[in-house]
Structures are given as structure tokens and as C-alpha cells.
Structure 1
Amino acid sequence: MKKMYFLLLLASSFAFANNGQPFEFNQNEPKIGDVLVINATSNVKYNHINFPQLNIVAKRGNLANYKSVHGNRVVIKEVMNNNNGNTTVLIENEDESKFFGIVKQVKANYTKSIASGEMSVANP
């Protein structure tokens, strides 16, 4: 009987010893079609979203501020992984309108913009 318990203990220890790195789902990875929200920043400009410069926006006849994009819902159109661990995404307005009436799509550093609060994942 002791041999049976010892064998059971040995088999279960081998089963758990092989699990060096636990398997976890990474839910922070963006996917094409995910919806994000652009938040207002305390800075004058967005550091991790590549919007056009304000002087270009003013030259095209729009107001030179980023208030028109605050609260916009955007959709991820393309995901690009960089070697340095950051993920860059190509975003577009959910209603397919242009940002500031100028550009249809802009690039954003997904990991840094989510961490800094410039963008957040939209509630379904």
C-alpha cells in the first residue's frame, strides 16, 4: 500500500514539475477589428498616436486643436509587431470618416498609448 501512495506521489510530482512556465492568455494583444476609444490628454499633443501636426490641420482650414478626436471610437485595421516589444497598430475611425478631414488612417504605438491613457479599449 505504501508503494502505491509513493508511486502516485511520484507521478503527480512529475506532472507538475514539467509546468515550468504557466500557460496564460495574453488579453492585451490587439486584433484586427478591435474597437478603441481615443481619450483626452493633459498634454497639448498626443505622444503615441501619429496625428498630423496642428499647423498642417490649421493650413487645411480646420481648428488647430485635437478636441475633435476626443472620445472617437476607432477600429484597428492592421497590427505590426516591433522587435523592441512594442506593438504598432493602424487605426481608422469607426464611421470611416477622416481625422480632421485630412487623413483616413493613422499609426499608433498600441502598448504605450494604452499605458499612457491616450487610448483605451472600448466597452462592447
Structure 2
Amino acid sequence: MLKKLCFIAFIFAITTAFTPSSLVNEPKQGDVFIINTPEGNQFYHIDFPKLNTLVKRGTIASYKSVYNTPVVITEVHANNKVSVARKDGKKFFRFYKTVTVDLNKALESGELSVVE
């Protein structure tokens, strides 16, 4: 029983050490990422405005305009949160120059991917 427990603890330690969050150890200004299509209807780790807010401001209520968009880190905050802007210089949904992202969680969930 003790051998099984040690083996499970060892496997858990190895798998947590090599998660996608360990790929980006120190985010720095100028790193480039791609915004992917989320699994559901909304982004959970990229702080885009809610769809009803977009409608109130006069845009189409859809996140499709940001799918496969390259973004660049403009500012690094505490706790691995970063501000990103579009690489082409346009604004998100015609109003937002930058949005904040929880980088590790966005990479793990697949909302962002690293440009190589």
C-alpha cells in the first residue's frame, strides 16, 4: 500500500511539474501569443467585456472577431497577470486598447497559445 501511495505521489509531482504553465516562466513585455477559440461561448481567463456590454456600445455581440488574433504583452502585473494589445495595433471591439489576461490559466485552458 505504501509503495502505491509513493508511486502515485511521484506521478502527480512529475505531471504538475511539466504542465503548460511551466512553459512561460517569466512573461515579459513583447512576448507574442495567439487568442484561440474558447471551448464554450465565453473566455474565462481573458477579461473581455461581456456580450451585453458590447451590444450597449454598438458592436456585434460576438467574440469571433478576436479568434486567431496575435496579441503582444504590453505590461506585466503581479500574480502572472498581463495586459495584452493586438499586434496589428487595432482595438478590441473598437473600444478597448488592452485587456488583462491571467496568463497561466489562459495557457492551460487553451484560450491562448504561444507563437513559436
TM-score by length of 1: 0.72
Aligned partner letter, 2:46: I
Is 2:108 the counterpart of 1:111?
A: no
Equivalent residue for 1:31, pick from 28, 39, 47: 28
Per-residue CA deviation, residues 88-111 of structure 1 (Å, 9 max, x unaligned), is 000000011110111100000000
More helix by share: 2
Aligned partner letter, 1:116: S
Aligned partner letter, 1:47: Y
3-state SS of the aligned residue for 2:82?
Answer: strand
Query: Would you say how many aligned residue pairs link Structure 1 and Structure 2?
Result: 94
Equivalent residue for 1:65, pick from 62, 66, 87: 62
Per-residue CA deviation, residues 20-77 of structure 1 (Å, 9 max, x unaligned), is xxxxxx7512111000000001211100000011111112221101000000000001
3-state SS of the aligned residue for 2:99?
Answer: strand
Structure 1: 5+ residue stretches without partners: 1-25
Q: Which has the higher contact order (CA 8 A, sep 6+)?
A: 2
TM-align CA RMSD? 1.2
Structure 2: 5+ residue stretches without partners: 1-21
Give the percent of matched residue pairs that are identical in Structure 1 and Structure 2. 44
Q: 1:27 to 1:117 in 2, by over 3 A?
A: closer
Higher Rg:
1
